Amino acid sequence: MKYGLIGYPLGHSWSPEIHQYFIQESYQLQELQPDALSTFLEQRNFDGINVTIPYKQDVIPYLDEIDKDAKAIGAINCIVNRQGKLYGYNTDYLGLKEMLVANHIDLTNTKVLLVGNGGVAKACKHLFEEGNVNYTIVNRTTNEGVIDYETLYAQGDQYDVLVNATPVGMYPNIDAMPVRLEEFQSIHTVIDLIANPLRTRLMQVAENNGKRTLGGFEMLVRQAYEADRLFTNCEQSETAIQDCIKTIRNQKANIVLIGMPTSGKTTVGKALAIQLKREFVDMDQVLEERFGTSIKECFAKKGESYFRMEETKLAKEFIHPEGKVISCGGGIVNKEENMQFLRANSIVIWLDRDLDKLFGSEDRPLSQDKEAILSLYQERKGLYEKYCDYRVENNGMIEVTIEAIQKVLEV
Ligand code: NAP
């Protein structure tokens, strides 16, 4: 192996795509059982590797030199083989640092709440100490200088920035939240180091409360770039790094179309999927197949609440970042839970069509005539606005709409 990642177990990883974007060479995932680690490192049969759980400390005795920041952090996630000598680095630290700089987040004169005290928290602590940042660590296991959750909630509202360095909320357990954010009104910025989902529940609650959010996917790309720079000595411009973040995030994320009935979600969704060579899913069609009847009949026989429950179950099936194009029923926005699932790993586009172009239809239980459409629009407009990442008008030729979507997505 020339370049790659070692760890155990290695689940699904986005690392190959990210590294290959920068190094233009194959990057392999190598799951190493604990008893195979020493032979692998002694053989030194690689040019550069990244190291993940559980070996970030175990690799230390095999290194010839350790970078000063990595030494202070006490964990290694990147090893470079230079003429047979192994050099260790911590690019989590570098990636986090670069992400804060690139997003103009200055933590000086703020009070930071660091949630978690594991491997990546060590990199955070080093960065905070280097910058004289005032921070408090909360963790379920406490030791000196670490508070527990009970103490945290008893302290009250006193933090400005929250950094989540726990896996709580990580895919597939995307419902979980590491803290009760509603108790911390004064927190204005939430940085969640989890990369998948792209938008954690913590980030969604923060966004809904007007807080600034930053997710771990950007850090993942930036730490990978820092490793690639060490592997190859090749520098990339900030523009190239941002292109990588955007390109890979957009490839992974689903594209979810929301909007009024007859706004064109299915037609546009199908055409967009063909254009982008992605799978297309029409949620209403999937539900009709599952019910074995039309939605109108389902409403008539089992009621709207049954339909909404099934719709939520289906929305939860789309938490995987699979790059699908998904057209939703017009009422999907009525339940916050639906949008929470869909937004986790999707970019949401509100397809907005002028009211006079929407038409009533006998098949649609809630929008059978113009008056019903107007009242639905008034009820839902605010929700479409709240949940969308982008609003795209669909009032003319389909090609124009597709082009507008591609423009906002930059794909
Ligand atoms: P780790 O060394 O295993 O540490 C996990 C931390 O989370 C520990 O403090 C642990 O508490 C706490 N924790 C775990 N499960 C918890 C639960 N159910 N409730 C409350 N606390 C819990 O893991 P790590 O390497 O630091 O990684 C932490 C997260 O950061 C992961 O989600 C990882 O994907 C992410 N990360 C992201 C990047 C990136 O580039 N974006 C890089 C590295 C890591 P105890 O001490 O009590 O066990």
Ligand 1 atom nearest the C-alpha of 52 is 25
Q: Which of 289-303, 307-321, 361-375 has the lowest mean pLDDT?
A: 361-375
Strand order in the sheet with 85-89: 28-31, 3-7, 48-51, 78-82, 85-89, 65-66
Residues 6, 13, 74, CA angle at the centre, nearest 5°? 45
Q: What is the pLDDT of residues 229-275, one digit of tens each?
A: 999 999 999 999 999 999 999 999 999 999 999 999 999 999 999 99
Say if residue 361's pLDDT is above 70: no
CA dist., res. 98 & res. 292, Å (int): 52
CA dist., res. 324 & res. 278, Å (int): 6
Say if residue 362's pLDDT is above 80: no
In this structure, what are the phi and psi dihedrals at residue 169, rounded to the nearest 5 degrees? 110, 0
* List of residues 6+ apart from 223 with CB closer than 8 A: 77, 91, 92, 94, 95, 96
Span 384-400, average pLDDT: 97
β-pair type (161-164, 111-115): parallel
Half-sphere exposure (CA, 13 Å, Cβ side) for 54? 6
Ligand 1 atom nearest the C-alpha of 166 is 7
CA dist., res. 166 & res. 315, Å (int): 26
Say if residue 383's pLDDT is above 90: yes
- 106: pLDDT confidence band, cut at 50, 70 and 90? very high
Q: Is the CB of 140 under 6 A from ligand 1?
A: yes
Say if residue 354's pLDDT is above 90: yes
Q: Which of 166, 173, 241 to mutate to test the pocket of ligand 1 (most atoms within 8 A of CB)?
A: 166
- Please give the torsion angle defined by the CA atoms of residues 213, 217, 218 and 220, in that order, rounded to the nearest 10 degrees: 140
Say if residue 178's pLDDT is above 90: yes
pLDDT value at residue 371: 81
In this structure, what are the phi and psi dihedrals at residue 30, rounded to the nearest 5 degrees? -125, 105
- 368: pLDDT confidence band, cut at 50, 70 and 90? low
pLDDT value at residue 11: 85
Of the candidates 319, 238, 225, the residue with the CA atom closest to the CA atom of residue 17 = 225
pLDDT value at residue 370: 79
**Mean of pLDDT over the chain:** 95
The model's pTM is: 0.94
Of the candidates 83, 44, 81, 41, the residue with the CA atom closest to the CA atom of residue 58 = 41
Q: Is the CB of 53 under 6 A from ligand 1?
A: yes
Catalytic site positions: 56
How far does CA 238 lie from the centroid of its chain? 21
Say if residue 411's pLDDT is above 90: no
CA dist., res. 202 & res. 199, Å (int): 8
In this structure, what are the phi and psi dihedrals at residue 160, rounded to the nearest 5 degrees? -105, -35
Say if residue 356's pLDDT is above 90: no
Say if residue 410's pLDDT is above 90: no
Q: Is the CB of 167 under 6 A from ligand 1?
A: yes
- 366: pLDDT confidence band, cut at 50, 70 and 90? low
In the reported structure, the alpha carbon of residue 359 is separated from the centroid of ligand 1 by a whole-number distance in angstroms of 50
Q: What is the pLDDT of residues 181-215, one digit of tens each?
A: 999 999 999 999 999 999 999 999 999 999 999 99
Q: Is the CB of 117 under 6 A from ligand 1?
A: yes
- 394: pLDDT confidence band, cut at 50, 70 and 90? very high
Residues 29/51, Cβ–Cβ less than 8 Å: no
Q: What is the pLDDT of residues 107-165, one digit of tens each?
A: 999 999 999 999 999 999 999 999 999 999 999 999 999 999 999 999 989 999 999 99
CA dist., res. 298 & res. 285, Å (int): 13
pLDDT value at residue 286: 97
CA dist., res. 261 & res. 361, Å (int): 9
Count of CB atoms within 10 A of residue 279's CB?
12
As given in the structure block, the two tokens for residue 103 are 């997003």
pLDDT value at residue 372: 83
Q: What is the pLDDT of residues 6-50, one digit of tens each?
A: 999 998 899 999 999 999 999 999 999 999 999 999 999 999 999
Q: Which of 10, 51, 56, 120 to mutate to test the pocket of ligand 1 (most atoms within 8 A of CB)?
A: 120
